[in-house]
């Protein structure tokens, strides 16, 4: 790890000016991903700015209209354990509660979770100058690609790793960002960016911006579920995630949002799966039709065809858990 200066910001404005003073400086929330980057020489910042104690950015509130206001510095454990989130936005609580391990969830912030960089081993190894580090090649093609994408790949094939991002997209969350041009709000669905325009970025955050708030609309009248499959129950990343948010009238699906995680460079909304169940009775046949819909367009690489079956199984299982 290279030497760097450490600074602690007490306001968003201070965090931004500390970063502007020394270009290349990085913000640290829980520091789980930042520390990995420092240790592997993936970033060599002149200054690391601790934002963990910024006032008001850890709060979680259920508003009068049933929507959620979540400070991006709230830990995954806090979001997972919050009774209001559990009651109204179950899939989000479960996604945060299943990530990583108890130790990590107690430190990692939800903001850092959605902004973490991909787990691709070529990206994570200093010696590979891959597309995500300004190189010319995605080594997953023709390389070891069992954890990579089956949807939306190219030119980079690294999967989006965030658990929390999957239900946030499904619930129609928005992110508030504060930077030099002021405050802006972006829908989670538009925030995550495929690698086509810029393979080095997974999202729309500007170099001078701080994520200051996450808003999740009310889910009154909706039910939701999050299911994840991973090789180990803890200290591991998902192979496939599924978040489903449904509006049911009796047993009939009136509205559906189904989002897949860890299978695409962004949280992947599966409209074919949604179309397969809207207007139908939520039963085994509908869940199976949605599972089949979810894999339309899948383009597995040489070693990750198993993810296609996993998507089918998890979509079916997630929907049946709501039936």
Ligand X SMILES: Cc1cc2nc3c(=O)[nH]c(=O)nc-3n(C[C@H](O)[C@H](O)[C@H](O)COP(=O)(O)OP(=O)(O)OC[C@H]3O[C@@H](n4cnc5c(N)ncnc54)[C@H](O)[C@@H]3O)c2cc1C
What distance in Å separates the CA atoms of residue 303 and residue 184, rounded to the nearest whole number? 40
| 215 is a contact residue toward ligand X (CB under 6 A) | no
Q: Which is nearer to ligand X, 93 or 286 (CB)?
A: 93
Alpha helix segments (H runs only) across 89-213: 90-98, 102-105, 110-115, 121-124, 165-170, 188-191
Query: How many residues are there in the chain?
Result: 323
DSSP 263: S
Nearer to ligand X, 104 or 320 (CB): 104
28: CB partners within 8 A, 6+ apart: 34, 48, 49, 50, 51, 52
Kindly identify the residues of this chain, within the stretch 132-161, that bind ligand X according to CB under 6 A: 161
Number of residues that bind ligand X (CB under 6 A): 29
* CB of 4 vs ligand X, minimal distance in Å: 13
Query: Nearest distance from residue 150's CB to ligand X, in Å?
Result: 18
Among 149, 130, 96, 145, smallest CA distance to 262 is for: 149
Q: Partners of 137 in the beta sheet? A: 130
CB of 99 to ligand X, least distance (A): 4
Binds ligand X (CB under 6 A): choice among 29, 70, 79, 266: 29
Tokens of 6: 């450490």
Give 236 or 303: the residue with its C-beta nearer to ligand X: 236
3 state SS of 111: helix
Site for ligand X in 95-114 (CB under 6 A): 99-100, 104, 108-109, 111-113
In the bound state, the residue with its beta carbon closest to ligand X is 112
Q: Does 264 bind ligand X (CB under 6 A)?
A: no
Q: Does residue 306 bind ligand X (CB under 6 A)?
A: no
Site membership for ligand X, residue 169 (CB under 6 A)? no
Q: By C-beta, is 99 or 131 nearer to ligand X?
A: 99
Q: 297, 196 in Cβ contact below 8 A?
A: no
Q: How far is the CB of 58 from ligand X (least distance, A)?
A: 11
Closest CA to 221 of 94, 89, 319, 68: 89
Q: Kindly state whether residue 120 participates in binding ligand X, applying the rule CB under 6 A.
A: no
| Residue 78 φ/ψ, nearest 5 degrees | -65, -40
Q: Does 211 bind ligand X (CB under 6 A)?
A: yes
Of 7, 9, 32, 149, the one binding ligand X (CB under 6 A) is: 32
Q: From 14, 11, 75, 4, select the one nearest 35 (Cα to Cα).
A: 4
260 binds ligand X (CB under 6 A): no
Question: CA distances (Å), 92 to each of 231, 266, 305, in order?
Answer: 21, 17, 28
178 part of the interface to ligand X, by CB under 6 A: no
In the complex, least distance from residue 264 CB atom to ligand X, rounded to whole angstroms? 15
Q: What are residue 142's phi and psi, to 5 degrees?
A: 80, 5
Q: Residue 165 Cβ, how far from ligand X at the closest point, in Å? A: 8
Provide the binding-site residues for ligand X, judged by CB under 6 A: 26-34, 72, 99-100, 104, 108-109, 111-113, 115-116, 161-163, 210-211, 235-238
């Amino acid at each position: 790890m290279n030497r760097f200066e450490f600074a602690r910001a007490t306001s968003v404005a201070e965090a931004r000016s500390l970063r502007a003073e020394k270009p290349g400086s990085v913000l640290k929330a829980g520091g789980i991903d930042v520390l990995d980057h420092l240790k592997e020489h993936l970033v060599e910042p002149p200054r690391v700015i601790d934002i963990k104690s910024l006032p008001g950015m850890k709060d979680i509130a259920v508003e009068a209209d049933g929507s959620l206001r979540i400070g991006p510095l709230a830990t995954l454990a806090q979001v997972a354990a919050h009774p209001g989130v559990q009651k109204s936005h179950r899939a989000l609580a479960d996604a945060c509660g299943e990530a990583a391990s108890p130790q990590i969830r107690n430190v990692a912030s939800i903001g850092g979770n959605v902004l973490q960089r991909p787990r691709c081993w070529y990206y994570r190894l200093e010696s590979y100058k891959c597309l995500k580090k300004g190189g010319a090649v995605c080594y997953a093609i023709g390389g070891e690609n069992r954890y990579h994408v089956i949807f939306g790949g190219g030119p980079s094939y690294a999967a989006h790793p965030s658990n929390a991002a999957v239900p946030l997209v499904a619930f129609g969350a928005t992110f508030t960002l504060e930077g030099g041009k002021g405050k802006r709000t972006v829908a989670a669905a538009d925030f995550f960016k495929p690698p086509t325009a810029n393979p080095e970025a997974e999202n729309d955050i500007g170099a001078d911006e701080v994520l200051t708030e996450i808003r999740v609309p009310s889910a009154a009248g909706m039910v939701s579920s999050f299911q994840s499959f991973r090789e180990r129950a803890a200290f591991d990343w998902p192979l496939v995630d599924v978040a489903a948010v449904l509006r049911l009238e009796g047993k009939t699906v009136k509205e559906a949002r189904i989002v897949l995680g860890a299978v695409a460079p962004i949280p992947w909304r599966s409209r074919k799966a949604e179309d397969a169940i809207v207007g139908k009775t939520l039963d085994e046949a509908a869940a199976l039709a949605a599972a089949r819909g979810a894999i339309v367009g899948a383009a597995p690489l040489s070693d990750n065809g198993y993810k296609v079956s996993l998507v089918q199984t998890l979509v079916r299982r997630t929907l049946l858990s709501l039936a």
